[in-house]
Amino acid sequence: MNRFNHCAAWLLAATALFTLPAQAAVDLSKVPAVGTPKDFVLPARETITLPNGLQVSFIPFGTLPKVTLVASVRTGNIDDGAHPGLADITADLMAEGAGDRDGAALDRYVAGMGGSLGVGSGETQFSVSLDVLAERGPDALRVIADVLRRPKLPASELERLRGDMARNISIARSQAQTQAGEAFQSLMFPGHPYGQGMPSDADIAGYTLADVKQFVATQFGAARTRVYVAGSFDRAAMEAAIRAAFGDWAAGPTPTGIPSLPKAQLGLRLVDRQDAPQSTLVLGLPVVTPDHPDWMALQVANSLLGGAFFSRITLNIREAKGYAYSPGSGISPRTGSAVWAQNADVTREETANALKEIFHEVERLQSEAPPLDELQRNQNLLVGRLALSVSTRQGLVGRVAFLDQFGLPDSWLSNYISAVRAVTPQRLVEVMQTHLAPAKMSLVVVGDLNKVRDSVKALPQIQTLPET
Amino acid sequence: MPAYRSLFRPLAAALAAAVLFTSTPAAAAGKPAAAPTPAAAAGLQVPVEYYRLPNGLRVVLSRDTTLPTTTVGVYYQIGFRVEPKGRTGFAHLFEHMMFQGTPNLPKGGLDQIVSGNGGAINGSTRFDYTNYYEVVPAHVLESVLWVEADRMRGLDINAASLANQQGVVKNEVRVNVLNRPYGGFPWLSLPQYANTNWNNAHNFYGDLTELDAANLEDVKTFFNNYYTPSNAVLVVAGDFEAARAKAWITQYFGSLPARATPARPDITEPAQTAEKRASYVDKIAPRPALAVGWHMPERNTRDWLAMGVVDELLLQGDASLLRQRLVRDRGMSSSIDGGVNLLGNLYNYNGPMLFTAYLIHDASNTPDAVLGAIDSAVDEFKAKPPTQEDMDRAITTLRSGLYDVVGSSTRFGLVDLLASFALFDDDPARINRLEAELRSVKPEEVQAAAQRYLRRENRTILTVEAGAAPKANTIGGVK
């Protein structure tokens, strides 16, 4: 049985920033001071393990009569084998009827609970989810069990779903951001499932019903599965439903390990997109994973550098220069790995100038400690956003599943807040030097290369970067 | 990711598929909905206190201390329908200018107060309003009320910040429309073909040259005309103490002088009498697409309410009839999307509106084949009233969705409904009657509304030709 530590997320959030005292005769030209933060309590979870290894986390939350159910199975594209995307087509086909309901009946049944069924695969996690009116919680749980244990996998739907997948991938690949993302992942994870990108038309054409059935037969089981129940529910009734629906499920095979990670390729990848009025940029590198002691400080550094709207890169290339609308940086963790990247879609004519400014901001933080008030704003932002993100059923499940995926204790979340608060200006510079060194960053540019190639390659930071 | 000040609404899953790095412009309020079933006969009840300051500002308070956060929304009744001719996109460009500082708070200060204390802030421009909203830890409320009153009092507008935001907005148009396959389809493009009154039929995002033409005088005039207390609603929802909140509201907003708002142009749309068709080539789209838009009945009529149910049964969710027929039975696409008001929901607009269905399909299906499939499903729907099971499912879905609107940690959807009902109906407590309104709709009314409005003469068909059609697509074709 696990519990979150309760903590006071905003207890320390009082800021020195705007502390002009409210005056007796009110001067409307002065910003009033912020008050004293209230305590914020993270919801706790209780976890039980069934004899077959299935784990269940119960997270009572909120007062509205709704409940979110998610079953997360440790499989995904790492188990695609010779068929990239097999986990995805399997997810699609599993949604096409289960138990004694065909696809159309399942759609109607689920809509009648006030929800819609989600079946999807990631690289290492496969999930089946439903969010429904509270009184339908046990019914929804049985639907999830049907999908996982008794999917119909109708042969009649396979061709249609392959067509849908091919269409959706062709649409995704026509987007500059997807083109940039796939190129960047291939640099970060050469030859690894994490870097394989979306399946090709030939991959999709190759899926057979036998492949899907084989995937279902070999990649699912109780010992690989965690069920999350969050929101309003009758604890005893829900546990009884879970034991009845999953108690006799076989433990199943041991989860696949992550193939060992390759060394990222340091390089410049230029992708031509004729006549594009913007260049789509991704600049980044591998960083440490959430279990590393520097993770929290790295989050603060990211926020200050490019993650927040008031980050240096955004204030520079958007609010000072007007080169971009929605630039931003972030850290994407995967099991065993994490990557930091700055993304931006910038005016074509300013491509090199935008890159120059981005490098300038990365370089400046390698040596120059940020002012304390700027640091505190970013710390407040991260703590406040954590509070907002765990204040919905889906957000809570997401955070808890994140802990489970990375093998972190529940105390990690409350430590997150104190660790974020503990970062000093000097520590932030150290983290920048250790983890966000510009010389180790790879760059992808998707744009009209005839117009942008020369100026990009003329940048001093790019000249040492091999074009790949 | 706060990607700020967006006219843009997240597009269908098909368009968003597999974007590895998103910096998604802030989400618009989701498909809203409505309220409870027999289990909770009274339905969802949200506390609503509503009053008006002497200068005309309407105030809505809705207290809920489940979370120690407070959400503030200021909604001005000026949308992109009513912007100066020759200045397309100006209402939205102006929205950006509201974040560029005031005589009392320099550019950037607003975000430092809100996000720098752990909150979130954004704004958006829609058909009939422009909104500014924040969610903050409860102890930051007074500061947020101050900043909203401060920018209602006046802006620090200068040539540098205008030029800067013209650059930003042009890049917003590029990233969301010009460099994006299906950019602006159909939410931006379809109204331009379906409508005839310029107010409803121009490019709301703006031609780049007209965005460039905007000057400081335009900004001042627009502010003076429309950013007045009597043209606005202030909503405060979440954790606050009512007496203190009201005292702050009086203190900060009460001294703003009342100002008149100019007469509105006529935004009515003449009745359409013949089917319209239009087509364009999207040079970077790999597959063709099709949209159908039907003019909606006037807001707040019985037919309008019934069309809310039509939308739910015909187009919303996996169980809806169009989804079942086009996706499951015919395999024309992985989804068909749309609804009433693609930039919002059934409630948060106040003028002519379209009910739209759209999909991206394969070249192996001609537009006429896709349209035939839509017609066949619509005819099937119109042939008989919905069953009781259908009606129950629609109410359940709407109720479930309303709980999510109210229960969201940002409360932005709740604030949006309260503000819309205050702005357009002078009745924010209407939120507590949504379920009853929808329950009052009879199956025969649903059928009758579908028959009256889902007619060919009342619709516009827009097709997109795929300028970047795939070379040899081995399996994309369907049955």
**Candidates A326, A375, A385, partner chain B, best to mutate (most B CBs within 10 A):** A326
Given an 8 Å threshold on Cβ–Cβ distance, is B396 in contact with A163? no
Q: Do A388 and B135 touch (CB under 8 A)?
A: yes
* Cβ–Cβ below 8 Å for B318 and A117: yes
Is B113 part of the contact surface with chain A (CB cutoff 8 Å)? yes
Record the tokens describing residue B217, joined without a space: 């005088």
Using CA coordinates, name the residue in chain B closest to A332.
B21
CA distance A270 to A249: 50
Beta strands in A310-373 (DSSP E): 328-334, 337-347
* Distance to chain A for B108, nearest Cα, Å: 7
Q: Nearest Cβ partner of A64 from B137, B286, B403?
A: B403
pLDDT mean across residues, chain A: 93
- Touching check for B174 and chain A: CB below 8 Å? yes
> The domain B276-466 is classified under which CATH number: 3.10.20.30, 3.40.640.10, 3.30.830.10, 3.40.1360.10?
3.30.830.10
Return all residues near A117 (Cβ < 8 A) that are at least 6 apart. Answer: A95, A106, A107, A110, A128, A129, A130, A143, A147, B318
Taken as a whole, chain B contains a residue count of 479
**How many Å apart are CA A162 and CA B476, to the nearest integer?**
8
Burial call A370-388: b when 16+ CB within 10 Å, e when fewer: beeebbbbbbbbbbbbbbb
Interface test with B, best of A31, A178, A348 (most B CBs within 10 A): A31
Question: What pLDDT, on the 0 to 100 scale, is given for residue A45?
Answer: 95
- The arithmetic mean of pLDDT across residues A181-204, rounded, is 96
Q: Point out the residues of chain B with pLDDT beneath 50.
A: 1-41, 472-479
Residues 6+ positions from A431 with CB-CB distance below 8 Å:
A294, A297, A298, A300, A301, A423
**Choice between A369 and A417, residue whose per-residue pLDDT is larger:** A369
- Using DSSP, state whether B67 is helix, strand or coil: coil
Which of A415 and B244 is assigned the larger pLDDT? B244
| pLDDT score at A25 | 60
Reply yes or no on whether the pLDDT at A5 is more than 50: no
Instruction: Give the pLDDT score at B469.
Output: 78
Angle between helices B367-382 and B302-315 (to 10 degrees): 120
Q: Quote the CA–CA distance of B145 and A32 in Å, as a whole number.
A: 9
B27: DSSP letter:
P
The domains spanning B13-253 and B276-466 adopt the same CATH topology: yes
Inter-residue contact B56 to B396 (CB < 8 Å):
no
Nearest to A334 by CA among A189, A441, A151, A207: A189
Cis-peptide, bond into residue B68, ω within 30° of zero: no
CB pairs under 8 A between A and B: 327
Neighbours of B264 (CB within 10 A): 12
Measured distance CA(A446)–CA(A178) in Å, rounded: 10
Is B444 part of the contact surface with chain A (CB cutoff 8 Å)? Answer: no
Asked if the model's pLDDT at residue A265 lies above 60, the reply is: yes
* Mean pLDDT for the stretch of residues A357-377: 98
pLDDT of the residue at A16 = 28
- What is the full DSSP assignment across A172-214? HHTSHHHHHHHHHHHHHSTTSGGGS-SPPHHHHHH--HHHHHH
CB contact under 8 A, A321 and B2: no
User: Which one of B17, B170, B182 has the shortest CB-CB distance to A168?
Assistant: B17
Reported ipTM: the value is: 0.92
The domains located in chain A, with CATH, are 46-246 (3.30.830.10), 268-463 (3.30.830.10)
pLDDT-based confidence at A63, cuts 50/70/90? confident
Under DSSP, is residue B122 helix (H, G, I), strand (E, B) or coil?
strand
Residue among B100, B133, B179 with most chain A CBs within 10 A, to mutate: B179
* pLDDT > 90 in chain A, percent: 87
A446 and A342 Cβ atoms separated by less than 8 Å: no
A179: nearest CA in chain B?
Answer: B19
Q: For residue A318, what is the DSSP state?
A: I
Count, in order, helices (H) and strands (E) of chain B. 17, 11
**Which of B:17-76 have CB within 8 Å of A?**
17-25, 37, 39-40, 66-69
Closest approach of B38 to chain A, Cα-based (Å): 12
A37 pLDDT band, cuts 50/70/90, is confident
User: Contacts of residue A163 in chain B, CB cutoff 8 Å?
Assistant: 331, 362, 475-478
Amino acid at A102: D
Question: Distance from A175 to chain B by nearest Cα, in Å?
Answer: 6
* CA-to-CA dists, residue B396 to A183, B313, B402, B439, angstroms: 44, 12, 10, 10
Q: Are strands B337-340 and B354-360 parallel, antiparallel or unpaired?
A: antiparallel
DSSP A380-412: HHHHHHHHHHTSSHHHHHHHHHHHHHTT--THH
Crossing angle, helix B242-253 and helix B141-153, to 10 degrees? Answer: 20
Q: What is the mean pLDDT of residues A320-345?
A: 97
Q: Which chain A residue has the Cα nearest residue B403?
A: A64
Asked if A442 and A284 touch (Cβ cutoff 8 Å), the reply is: yes
CA distance linking residue B4 with residue B191, whole number of Å: 24
Quick one: pLDDT at residue A359? 98
Q: Spell out the domain ranges in chain B.
A: 13-253, 276-466
Q: How far apart are CA A73 and CA A151, in angstroms?
A: 15
Return the pLDDT at B471. 52
- For testing contact with chain B, the best of A167, A187, A208 (most B CBs within 10 A): A167
Question: Please, what CATH class does the domain formed by B13-253 belong to?
Answer: alpha beta
Q: Decide if B252 touches A, using CB distance below 8 A.
A: yes
| Beta carbons of B417 and B32 less than 8 angstroms apart | yes
CA distance B101 to B98: 7
Out of B168, B284, B286, the one facing A318 most closely (by C-beta) is B168
Q: What is the pLDDT of residues A194-241, one digit of tens each?
A: 999 999 999 999 999 999 999 999 999 999 999 999 999 999 999 999
Q: What is the pLDDT of residue B470?
A: 60
